[in-house]
Amino acid sequence: MNYISTQLQLFLRDTVHPQNLAGQQISEEEFSRWKSFLKEEISGTLLAIQNSTSTSNGKEAKDLRAAVAIVYHLSNTVNRYLTRYLPVWKRHNQAKEIKTHYKYTIALLNRLQSSIYEWYPSIEPASRVTNFALPQIKMELRQQVKTLEGKLTGSGIQQELQDLVTPGFIQLINKKNLTIGQVKYIEELLADISMEPLLSTQLLTGLLIVRDFNLPEFFLYCVNNIQDKLDDLPGLHEQKEFLLQEKNMLYDLALRSAKSANVQSSMLYRELNSFLDEKYLFLKQLVKVRKDAMRDQQQPLSGLRFKINLSVPQFGLFIRMQMERDILSKEKVGDIFEFFAHHFYTANTALISPESLQKKSTDVEFTTAQKMKGHLIGMLNWLNTNYNLSNYN
């Protein structure tokens, strides 16, 4: 069923087109007929829709969505008359009345849309915001983002997170063909963040995950955070445990959320879960390969893995120092750390992560450097004692 009559569409697209009004003297009676015709058409449309047996599915629902789309385009057509065709009608001696009637037309079309959404709420989220309403909505949203930016500044939240949240919201606001559902999502998320009295990096990150702030930059931020924490753990078993804890934390976020019914269907939640699953599976396979290799080595070639009496951070620094002094080649750095992680173990770490070992060789804490200096002084003292080097320059 076609809910929007051909007469209404022709009237708005042709009869009241600015080029057809230019040079004409429009009587008061014609202006009155303009309004009464619109009222009759809108009332008839509303009555037909109200009496329909439409549900959220089926042909009737398609007809309703088609009607909403037509109203959207008609509203944008009249809005173009107000803006793009302004030079055509602004010199008309009845420009003020013409502008008033264009705005009146848009208001009636908006009322028609609002009534449809009230009766059939499932249609509203996917419906696009009209060009007439869009500037005001975007201005208000940008103002709310600016207010949020002020709240985040000086809050102690990680700067990297702050630097992607505000541009992320602006990116959402500037989306082409913004829908009513997207506008409501932005408004609700901004409100949720603003209502938090004590924001922290962890709290904000969790809130954005729960509310599916699914921008590539934010997903990459979450992934990099997990990877950084993972690289700080020297042992493969510790890394597996950490990934399980992250999965559990993600699940707890969903359970604690007021909108928990929608969380697990969100794209960002699923992508992060998938990332953690893939990482855990990789580590699980890596541990198995390492254990198999150790078992093979212990049979014919026992002693291919050696215990070193250094912590993993000290061991990493010890390897890096040899590279910096050209004792070890700087070519194929990853392979070198892979070799040492594969063939050595420490008292606390049976299986060393090559990535963690390499990272800790450059991310050196003062206490690690201090202990390594103590080892080196001890080695120098041993050379002096055993080879009479005390007086050698």
CB-based contacts of 93-98 (< 8 A; 24+ apart in sequence): 93/25, 94/25, 94/26, 97/26, 97/31, 98/18, 98/21, 98/26
Any idea what DSSP says for residue 235? B
> Which of 9-13, 20-24, 300-304, 309-313 bottoms out in mean pLDDT, i.e. has the lowest?
300-304
If you search the block for the tokens 């809130």, which residue do you land on?
207
Kindly write down the DSSP assignment for every residue of 67-91, as one continuous string. Answer: HHHHHHHHHHHHHHHHTTTHHHHTT
- Residues 163 and 144: their CA atoms lie apart, in Å, by 16
- Over residues 140-169, the mean pLDDT reads 93
CA 364 to chain centre: 32
Residue 136 has pLDDT above 50, yes or no: yes
- Residues 190 and 64: their CA atoms lie apart, in Å, by 31
Q: What is the pLDDT of residue 303?
A: 53
Q: What is the pLDDT of residue 301?
A: 41
Residue type, 185: Y
Q: Strand ranges (DSSP E) for 4-82? A: none
Supply 137's token pair: 């909505």
- The contacts of residue 178 (CB under 8 Å, 6+ apart) are 128, 129, 134, 137, 138
Three-class SS of residue 345? Answer: strand
- The contacts of residue 50 (CB under 8 Å, 6+ apart) are 119
- Residues 334 and 210: their CA atoms lie apart, in Å, by 37
Measure the CA angle with vertex 211, ends 172 and 219; round to 5°: 70
Q: pLDDT tens digit string along 270-279?
A: 899 999 999 9
Any idea what DSSP says for residue 15? I
Q: What is the pLDDT of residue 236?
A: 86
Residue 316 has pLDDT above 60, yes or no: yes
- Residues 255 and 259: their CA atoms lie apart, in Å, by 9
Relative to beta strand 306-307, strand 344-345 is: parallel
- Over residues 1-25, the mean pLDDT reads 91
- Over residues 102-121, the mean pLDDT reads 94
Residue 99 has pLDDT above 90, yes or no: yes
